[in-house]
Amino acid sequence: MKPARPAGFAVVVCLLVLVAVVTLAYWTTYFTSGATHVREDEVYLAFENAFPLADGWMASCALLAAIGLWRRRPWGFLFGLLTGSSLVYLGCLDVLFNLNEGTYAIDSGAMGAEIFINVGSLAVGAGLIAWLWRHREALMPR
């Protein structure tokens, strides 16, 4: 008999799906309307244009984690950890770029969204790793 799903299970699965959906929405907006552009200079655009493949990996891991966890498959736990690690890594890259470039000083809706993404990536990534590890016995029964 499998152990009961841990507290917060449904929230974590929904959060994983939300991460994938928001990532897709961000890049759809970035490439169609450009409303997510904080700046329009060559350096900023080159930096941002380097992210879609890595974000695609992270979003794919998030969807696989949500499916795997929901279906109680061990690979759901693995892809959850990969998602959390990817979020922390991508968040760190983005934060350091914004600090080095002084981009956080820009007062715009796009920068507000960027700050939300930076804080969210770091917090959700670290929180996801911690939650998964804390509940690994229930998520990967023998």
32-70 pLDDT tens trace:
999 999 999 999 999 999 999 999 999 999 999 999 999
Establish if 12 belongs to a structural domain: no
Establish if 38 belongs to a structural domain: no
C-alpha 69/C-alpha 76 separation (Å) is 4
Establish if 92 belongs to a structural domain: yes
Q: Is the pLDDT of residue 23 over 80?
A: yes
CA distances from 29 to 36, 82, 94, 110 (A): 7, 25, 18, 11
Tokens of 140: 């990967």
Confidence of residue 22 (pLDDT cuts 50, 70, 90): very high
What is residue 141's predicted lDDT score, i.e. its pLDDT? Answer: 73
What is residue 69's predicted lDDT score, i.e. its pLDDT? Answer: 98
Tokens of 114: 């960027």
What is residue 81's predicted lDDT score, i.e. its pLDDT? Answer: 98
* Nearest Cα to Cα of residue 19 among 115, 72, 86, 77: 86
Domain total of the chain = 1
Tell the burial category of 96 from Cβ atoms under 10 Å away from its Cβ (0-12, 13-18, 19+): exposed
Establish if 6 belongs to a structural domain: no
Tens of pLDDT, residue by residue over 74-123, are 999 999 999 999 999 999 999 999 999 999 999 999 999 999 999 999 99
The domain of 95 spans: 17-29+43-139
